[in-house]
Every structure is written in C-alpha cells, then in structure tokens.
A and B are shown apart, each in its own frame.
Chain A
Amino acid sequence: MHNNPILRISTKILFAPIILFGLYVQFHGDFGPGGGFQAGVIVASAFILYSLVFGIEAGKKLFPSNINLILLALGGIIYGGVGIVSMLLGDEFLAYNVLGSSPQSGQHIGILLVELGVGLTVSNVMIALFNAFASYDNIKEK
C-alpha cells in the first residue's frame, strides 16, 4: 500500500482530524455521547491507519513502542491514582467529592481524570496489539 497516492494523501489529510475528533469525544464525554473507551479507540485508529498505509516501521517511528508501553501502564496508574488521592484526602477510594473545592467540581475533576486514564490505556493497548500482530512474524513488512 506504500505507493498508492490516494491512500497516502488521504491518510495525511485524515490523520489530524481523527485525533481531534478523538480528543473531542474524550473531553466532551460529560456532555454528549462518548468517553474514554470510544475516544481511545478513535485515537488508536488514527495511528493504526498510519501504520497500515506507511508500514509498521514508519508507524513505530511516529509513535515509538517504548512510549506506547509507558502510556499503556500510565492510564491504569492515573485511574488508580485518582482513587488513592481521594483516599489520602480523607474519603473512600474513587469518591471524587473531596478532589475539588465543592463536591460538584470535585466530581468534574475526578471524572475527567478517570476518563483520561481509560482513554490512555485503551488507545495504547489497541496500538500495541496491532503492532504486536502486524510485526509478529514480519510477514506484513514484505
């Protein structure tokens, strides 16, 4: 697929809007449909599209796999960390009321951070899975 101009150019045009849409879904989940799971998948699909069209090696250059693995774990850590912080502030695990000045703002901050953790984990797991499958036996790279 590396030499098809239609695929190459449309991927280059679509890449940024897909990520923008993913971020919209991520941070607009409080107000409309969406949230961490969907946003993670959408952002991952942008990187997978890039890898599909330009090859796995180019995809890994764009998004190195060691950063991918760090972010993969970081998502879960953020989620659990919000719970632990709320415990340290004197409430139960994952009770967001204590995180902000008022219970409502605390809930907002908590939900935003938790969704961010979900999105990070999901998107990076998807990218890592695709990379693992695609470069498993180096069949794809020929």
Chain B
Amino acid sequence: MISELLINAFLVTIMLSIAIALIKTRTVIFTVILTSAYSLVAALMFITLDAVDVAFTEASVGAGISTILFLAAMAYLPKKEEESISSEFVPALSCIILGGILIWCSYDLPEIGQFTAPIHQHIAPEYIKGSKEDIGIPNIVTSVLASYRGYDTFGETIVVFTAGVAVLALLQKKDPAKKNKSQPKQKIRKNA
C-alpha cells in the first residue's frame, strides 16, 4: 500500500513538473517532446492501475506515433510561439476554479478497485463471465473491444480512416504535379 502511494506520488510529481515546463517553454519542438514525455508517464500511471492495454496504447500512440506526426507537421510552423499579450489572470482563475470543482467531485467517486462500485456491478460481471464461456479468450479487453463492442470499434476504425483520407485530401492538393500526370496538370496551369 505504501509503496503504491510512493510510486503514484512520484509519477504525479513528474507529470506536474512536465506540465509546468510545458507552460513555460516557448520553443515548439520542446513542447512536442514534453508532450511525448507526459504521455509516457501517463502510460506508467495506467500500468499502476493495472490497465495494461490502455498503457500500451498510450505509450505507442500518445508517446510514439503522435510525436512523430506532430514533428512532421511542426516543420511548417514558426520555430517559436509568440508571447501572449493578453492578461493571464482570467484563464488562470478559470483553471483553478475548474480544477477545484473536479477535485471536490472526486471525493464522491468510489475507491479504486472497490467491488461494490456501480461500474463493477452493472454489466462488467457479464462480460467477465461471457469472455471465458462464450468467446473463449483470456484477454477480456479484446473480447469487449472486438466482440461485445464491435460496433464501436468499427466506428473507431472508420473515424481513423476518415481522418486519414481527409488529411490526404487537404494536403495532396498542393502537390499534384508529381502524382497526377495528364488532366490535373492542365487544370492547375489554367488556375495559375
């Protein structure tokens, strides 16, 4: 129990210091790297909560690929953020109020891992039992993700697909000379 507390305190301290460093830094590349580090610590936090699948996703997507994509996209931005001119008092106040409300609400949450919590009573027992008997897969997360909640995952896949296609449609407009050979080239000449 005490070691768990120590680990959590350690991780929260690192996360807080990364967040403060994120506010202070004005260089875009440092912002990206610090966000990646933040994701990595978040992944460790998920491991302490025994959510290995989420931790895996956070480490590979949050800390890995999104950092690379951000870096690739940041090449088109100025190297440094501009200093904000407006007052920082109102945003800081609203952050503090919102954070206070969230902390206040968190006292009503059931303890982590408490068996009588509503979330462990509603539909989860059925999934845990069914995953073994109906589906026959040891990893309950996969059976929920791919079978019980197959529609949702289908939607997620289509969202990823749509996002990719949308970005391609936006970005490939400017660089058609290489790819499309006959017709679009003429169109662009006309436009130019």
Give A contacts to B, CB under 8 Å. Answer: 25, 29-38, 41-42, 44-45, 48, 52, 69, 72-73, 75-76, 79-80, 83, 93-94, 96, 103-104, 107-108, 110-111, 114-115, 117-118, 121-122, 124-126, 128-130, 132-140
Quick check: is B17 within 8 A (CB to CB) of the other chain?
Answer: no
Q: Would B146 and A110 count as touching, CB distance under 8 A? A: yes
Alpha-carbon distance between A124 and B171 when the two chains are bound, in angstroms: 16
Alpha-carbon distance between A31 and B65 when the two chains are bound, in angstroms: 24
Q: Would A121 and B160 count as touching, CB distance under 8 A? A: yes
Quick check: is B56 within 8 A (CB to CB) of the other chain?
Answer: yes
User: Which A residues touch B157, using CB under 8 A?
Assistant: 36, 75-76, 79, 117-118, 121-122
Known contacts A83-B154, A110-B147; A133/B171 CB under 8 A: yes
Interface residues on B, range: 35 or more
Alpha-carbon distance between A122 and B156 when the two chains are bound, in angstroms: 10
Q: Would A79 and B172 count as touching, CB distance under 8 A? A: no
The interface residues of chain B, by DSSP majority, are classed as helix
User: Which B residues touch A38, using CB under 8 A?
Assistant: 56-57, 60-61
Binds A, one of B102-110, B112-120, B131-139, B184-192: B131-139
